[in-house]
Structure 1
Amino acid sequence: MTKTSRLRSRAALGVAVATALAVTSACSTGNEPTPSAGGATSAGNAKCVVGMTQINQTAAFFTQMNEGAQQAAKDAGCELTIANANNDSSKQNSDIENFVTQGVTGLIVVAIDVNGVLPAVKAARDKGIKVVAIDAKLEDGSVETFVGVDNEKAGAQAAQWMIDKGLASGKSYGVVDAKNSFIQNQREDSFRKAIDAAGAKYTQSVSGDNVQEKAATAAQNLVTAQPGLDFIYTTGEPATVGAVSAIGADAKTKIIGWDLTKEVISGIDSGSVTAVVQQDPKTEGVEAVKELKSILGGAAPKGFIDVPITIVTKENVEPYRAIFP
């Protein structure tokens, strides 16, 4: 072989090697990390892009839940988008459908209607999307994990607290609730069952539809129609805030309800609020994102993550003032 022939052979070999390397680089094995804004993955970690459908953005309970989820997403390297259903269950279903179209890998559902949301949730899971529910428990098997309070049990706990304090037997009461909220119906039913069995006298329930202004009007209508009530049981933040605005500090009627706010703490200070069932919405948001991150990484779902309640009174309200300045 001449010197010229040897040079031509080496050049051809170099081209062949370069071509082979280029082909190998272009072919994905499926194991390479895929970058994503806010949800970039590394080897061994699944892409974490989470859509969260929230009931509304006005109640402090929900905004604190959002804050927890946002912080957890930042810490976990997940991309999080929150959609506000604004108390509209049909919009909530549309929000879930939009998240599926956008290609999220995880979904957090704070359900308005626990039955009405199921078709949209099922459609999401059929696409391989992992779903965690917060606050409102969905049908068994419909999601990977539920994060929150056992609302039925907590309603009974609130009643038992009153029974133990001697505030039930012979006392008359009414309820400010939200008939459009499954979990608030649970809180009411279990509370009434226990308190009535202890000798309390139920009068009527009025619905504020989980909207503070409506709840305030409903509470005012209740105390106008039933001026001699010993207490009002309120099943959620808007109802409790509404009742505080409707009842003066010197009124005979007292409030036993759910969810602290600045206004409700003022009610505790003035004596119009006797006790409040306080959840930990921020922790619920944190735990939901952490659970999705874990599931997307291959861990088995926990099924239920219990976030305990605290019954807040004058005796233990002080630490909560910093949360509701």
Structure 2
Amino acid sequence: MSSLRSGTILLAACVVLTACGTTSENSGGGGGQTTGASTKCKGTGGKYVIGMSQANVAEPYRQRMDDDIKAAAKGVPQFEVRFTDAQQDNARQVSDVENFVTQQIDLLIISPNEAKPLTAVVKSAYDKGIPVLVLDRKVEGDAYTEWIGADNTEIGRQAGKYVAEKLLPSGGKIAEIRGLAGSTPAQERGDGFRDAIKGKNIDIAVSQDGDWLRDKGQEKADAILKSNPDVQVIYAHNDPMAEGAYLAAKAAGKQDSLKFIGIDALPIPSGGIKAVEAGRLSATFVYPTAGKEAVAAAKQILVDCQQVPKTQTLQTQLITKENATEVYAKANGG
């Protein structure tokens, strides 16, 4: 075979590979999913199984996230979504993801219980060519297709600004009830809050982990109020813990002398917006579940054969007595 003919064949082979996309280019094998459409995409005629690995459904926010994914997925006839509940157990969630990979799912959605323990299994799925959408909480590194969520540091900063300007303009003492210690929102909501109150003569007298749960928030607040009776504001990292703190204060007869702040603002009867409207919480902040955005991203990847951005940051909003009724009505189609 002449060298000219060999070169022509080699060039033709390269053109074919360029048109189709190589395995490593599209699937994440070796180099991650950095360029090209996902090899999982079969267009509108395909059928796709999506695995949704939830950290837990004991939090109303996480149940709402699952519900939002189910509702959005109904609008994409090609999708079948399978859900798991890790029940705040890292090892269980790792196993859930491994089972999804064994089932050969077409795309993984995960809201990690904690960042570090879930990083390796998420990377393993991603490196096998499975597109991965990470919602709300993060993993370490960048071995995923897209992260979708709100800016928790900014939410914490806005909460601190609200306390400094509206609740304690002359300074004072607060207590903090944090989320699960190893989860990124807990760290970021605490960091942002501290940044905003710096130099404002506001002292965080005590900080306790409430693990995002209402009953644990109530338990921690009960102990806080006994050991620090002079706190004036309780900043909780989510609405259920803030409501738990309110119940603890009510049991102690202190509900009228304290102010409570939460985060999530779910537009449901038991959510934070209604708690603000009723006067139990002074404020909360909208924290979108990212459910509908995740399904839209999955459609882009699997059905439309399009790339998605590495990060999709969703917007928050301060909810107070002044706008709670209006925001609730709008969120529910009013």
For the residues of structure 1 that align with 2:195 and 2:228, how far apart are their CA atoms? 21
Aligned mates of 1:46, 1:126 — CA distance in 2: 22
2:172 corresponds to 1:167: no
Q: Find the residue that maps to 1:51 and give its secondary structure.
A: strand
Which residue of 1 is the match for residue 262 of structure 2? 257
Question: Structure 1 counterpart of 2:82, which letter?
Answer: T
Rounded to whole Å, the distance in 2 between the matches of 1:222 and 1:108 is: 37
Question: Which residue does the alignment assign to 1:208?
Answer: 210
Deviation at 1:266, TM superposition (A): 5.5
Aligned: 1:289 with 2:295: yes
Aligned CA-pair RMSD: 2.2
1:43-62, aligned counterparts within 5 Å? Answer: 47-62=47-62
Whether contact under 8 Å (1:48, 1:79) holds in the other structure is: yes
What residue number does 1:307 align with?
314
Q: Aligned match of 2:285 in 277, 283, 304?
A: 277
Contact persistence 2:178–2:190 (CA under 8 A): yes
Larger Rg: 1
DSSP 3-state at the match of 1:129: coil
Partner SS for 1:117: helix
Q: Pairwise mapping of residues 17-166 of structure 1 onto structure 2 (< 5 A)?
A: 47-77=47-77, 78-165=79-166
User: Which runs of 5 or more residues in structure 1 are unaligned?
Assistant: 1-40
> Identity across aligned pairs (percent)?
29
3-state SS, counterpart of residue 120 of structure 2 = helix
Count of aligned positions = 282
Unaligned runs of 5+ in 2: 1-40
Question: Scaled by the length of structure 2, what TM-score is found?
Answer: 0.78
Q: Distance in 2 between matches of 1:250 and 1:54?
A: 34
Shift of 1:168: 4.5
Kindly state the Cα deviation for residue 104 of structure 1 after the two structures are TM-superposed: 0.5
In the alignment, what sits opposite 1:18?
A: none
Instruction: Give the alignment's TM-score, normalised by structure 1.
Output: 0.80
Shift of 1:251: 2.8
- Give the conservation status (yes or no) of the 8 Å contact 2:110–2:132: yes
Q: Measure, in 2, the Cα distance between the counterparts of 1:233 and 1:65.
A: 23
Distance change in 2, residues 1:46/1:114 (3 Å): farther
Q: 1:168 to 1:113 in 2, by over 3 A?
A: farther
**Partner residue in 1 for 2:30:** none
3-state DSSP of counterpart to 2:53: strand
Instruction: For residue 83 of structure 1, give the secondary structure of its aligned residue in structure 2.
Output: strand
Whether the 8 Å contact between 1:215 and 1:239 is mirrored in structure 2 is yes
Q: What secondary structure sits across from 2:133 in the alignment?
A: strand
SS of equivalent to 2:75: helix
